[in-house]
Amino acid sequence: MAIAGIGACSETVDDPQVTSEATSCMLVGTTWWNQGFSPQTGTFHVEFSATPSAPNIDAVIGISDGAASTWSKLAAIVRFNPEGFIDARAGGEYRADSSYRYDANTTYYFRVDIDVRARTYSVRVGFQPGEFTSSIAQNYPFRTEQASVTRLSNIAGFVNRPETSGGSVQLCGINIDASSTGAGDCFASNAGGGFANVGVAPSPGGLAITFTAKPSSANIDGVVGVAGKTVTAYNDMAASIRFFTNGLIEARDGDVYRADVALPYTAGDTYDVTFVLDVPTKTYSVYVYNYARGWYSAVKVATGYHFRPQQETVARIDHVATVVASTTGRVDVCRAVNRSPSALHYLREGSFHVVPFVGDSALIADGTRTYRVSADGATTATYGAGGHVAVDRDGNIYLAREASGGLVVESYTSSFSPRWTRLAEASGGVIGIATTVTGEVLVAVPSQIVRFGTDGSARTWPGIAAGNMIAVGAMGYAGYVGGNRIESHYSDGTLAWSWAFNGSADITAIAVGPDGSLVFGGEYYGTINFGDRDLYPSNGSEGAYNAFMVVLSAQGRLQFSTRLGGRWVNALAFNGSRSVAAVYDYMQFPYNTMYVYDWSGTMLRNWSEEGFGLGDHGNAGEVAISASGRVWANLDAMPYWTSLEPTSWPYLVSIATQ
């Protein structure tokens, strides 16, 4: 049975496998818009993209039985609400499982899974077609007025308050499909029944696979795992957990099952499980959550466990499987999905300083080690010392860290053979390190700049920055000096230029490009104009959302300024033509939020409240960007956070902007 798309003629046949796609778009405004489709009485799903033209509008897209001219006619509803968030209707109220902010002129991709017989529906949303990474609603009841509806046959749209925002919504790509309900699919393994499998979207690098698992009985031996093919034997699984006969949940680490914490399970309870897999390094971590038992955050059962030895060469993960080895028992697995977007190249557990290397490879360093990592995430070299890292045009590597004797800077070849070590008096920790076009090494520490010359000599200058707002680069260094003034200096300490602005703002991040251009950002107060446009304040129920970013040329001229969604800027990176901003965003919970802009001020990517499969909640930190636009970002992920005192886990993600 096919349903015509927007702008096409309706067509009905008797095939129960419903598939219909609208290839054109419709602009929804203050007049109710409707598009009928063949009546559905069971389970089906609807996919579409929606682009709001303005912030803080009041627009709904809903599913109904017949054409709608009032809200009460809609059974399942997705709304861009007046407070700037996406929510859904649950009976007599609008609410959402997660706070998901929307921005004007940004396209959001929705999937609505509907069960007409149960009168429930679920909503997921994402930033890429087919990638619905965030859950807005899970098994919400139909609107109260539609609690007895027996069929649905129409999709409708309406904008309620254009007089306050001038808003509209563009709907595209509407697709109605009853061949599968995907996001709500379940499968099960029974004692003696062998392996049960389901496919998930493949990923060769890093990925986060989530599912729910429900053991039917206590003290069973039920396994759920992931693999690169259909599983017919235990050794086909790369990573797995088990509900074991000792009453605990355990994870496979190489040849054995164990757990970082003793986590009992209860028969009949449903557990939300996340596998975070680093396929290039053949390691993974596991998070388990049980909302019904009042758990305030996920429990990390496994940290950096190794794949089974038989799977050391697996190149990608694309299956979830379950089996029960005990003589009794059953495990039900539902909603198995790869939540990582296609833009994600890889992820690695931990916090790292990053410098892009040749061909989108990178040098990443933590407090104890430095790694050279290929573009696909494989470790190609390791050195047993960490710190802030830089690389020169010849591929030589530089590490800077504070030690008991002061500042230590070490230089190595690209294969980590030692070249030299230098010391200088400095304290307070390293802010950044860079190599200059003339072969010097600049290190920023609180209150001073240290320059190591090509002859090995060290020279220091008083720091120019207010606080730690200073950055070093190939042409020199720059910083916020206070009093609404930015200064740029050559590597010899002489002033290159000075730039000032009017208004009230806190500068919280700064970065320089390879040519001496600069980006800074923070939080502004009241209306402010950096020289090209007025940026107006935005206040919500939990505070102001006035993060901003300003780009200056290598000559100290304003290129553009822009307001960013969120509270303030945590970190910035700049490759001379593109800038990436990691923003602190908070609405009841913190969210991972990042933006990428080109030199003209056009936003290229908006990862707003996007956890890259690691959960919506968290905080984005230090970032880096390569010449090609590859971005590396440190995230403090908070899977399944419902507590006011969550536990967070650090991950480095490598993502594409194209």
pLDDT (tens digit, 9 = 90+) per residue, 432-475? Answer: 999 999 899 999 988 788 999 887 788 887 767 656 788 999 99
DSSP state of 161: -
Cα 397 to its chain centre, rounded Å, is 30
DSSP codes of every residue in 523-537: EEESSEESSS-EE--
CA–CA dist 542, 28 (Å, integer) = 30
CA–CA dist 381, 368 (Å, integer) = 14
> Considering only CA atoms, which of 592, 520, 593 is closest in space to residue 561?
520
CA–CA dist 276, 651 (Å, integer) = 10
How confident is the model at residue 658, as a pLDDT? 65
Which stretches of the chain drop beneath a pLDDT of 50? 1-23, 180-184, 609, 641-646
Backbone angles phi, psi at 599, to 5 degrees: -65, -25
The residues near 414 (Cβ < 8 Å, ≥ 6 apart) are 372, 395, 396, 397
pLDDT (tens digit, 9 = 90+) per residue, 76-122? Answer: 999 999 988 999 999 999 998 777 889 888 999 999 989 898 898 98
Say how many C-beta atoms besides its own lie within 10 A of residue 261's C-beta.
Answer: 12
The residue whose two tokens read 């920055």 is 465
Say how many C-beta atoms besides its own lie within 10 A of residue 246's C-beta.
Answer: 11
Q: Which helix (H) or strand (E) holds 178?
A: none
Give CA separation, 590 vs 510, 586, 641, in Å: 22, 4, 10
How confident is the model at residue 192, as a pLDDT? 86
The residues near 240 (Cβ < 8 Å, ≥ 6 apart) are 223, 224, 225, 226, 234, 251, 252
CA–CA dist 246, 527 (Å, integer) = 62
Is the Cβ–Cβ distance between 607 and 594 less than 8 Å? Answer: yes
Domains of the chain: 19-182 (2.60.120.200), 185-339 (2.60.120.200), 350-500 (2.130.10.10), 514-658 (2.40.128)
The residues near 276 (Cβ < 8 Å, ≥ 6 apart) are 206, 207, 208, 284, 285, 286, 287, 347, 349, 613, 614, 651
Q: Which residues pair with 528 in a beta bridge?
A: 535
Q: Torsion angle, CA of 495/500/504/506, rounded to 10 degrees?
A: -30
Q: In what order do the strands lie in the sheet with 237-243?
A: 196-203, 317-324, 222-227, 237-243, 249-253, 256-258
The residues near 68 (Cβ < 8 Å, ≥ 6 apart) are 32, 34, 62, 74, 154, 156, 158
DSSP state of 163: H
> Considering only CA atoms, which of 577, 579, 566, 575 is closest in space to residue 520?
579
Kind of pairing, strands 206-215 and 271-278? antiparallel
Backbone angles phi, psi at 254, to 5 degrees: 65, -110
Give CA separation, 76 vs 90, 173, 618, in Å: 8, 18, 29
How confident is the model at residue 5, as a pLDDT? 39
> Considering only CA atoms, which of 76, 156, 163 is closest in space to residue 118?
76
CA–CA dist 177, 181 (Å, integer) = 8
DSSP state of 57: -
Is the Cβ–Cβ distance between 345 and 211 less than 8 Å? Answer: no
CA–CA dist 625, 132 (Å, integer) = 25
The CA-based diameter of the chain, rounded to the nearest angstrom, is 83
DSSP state of 611: -
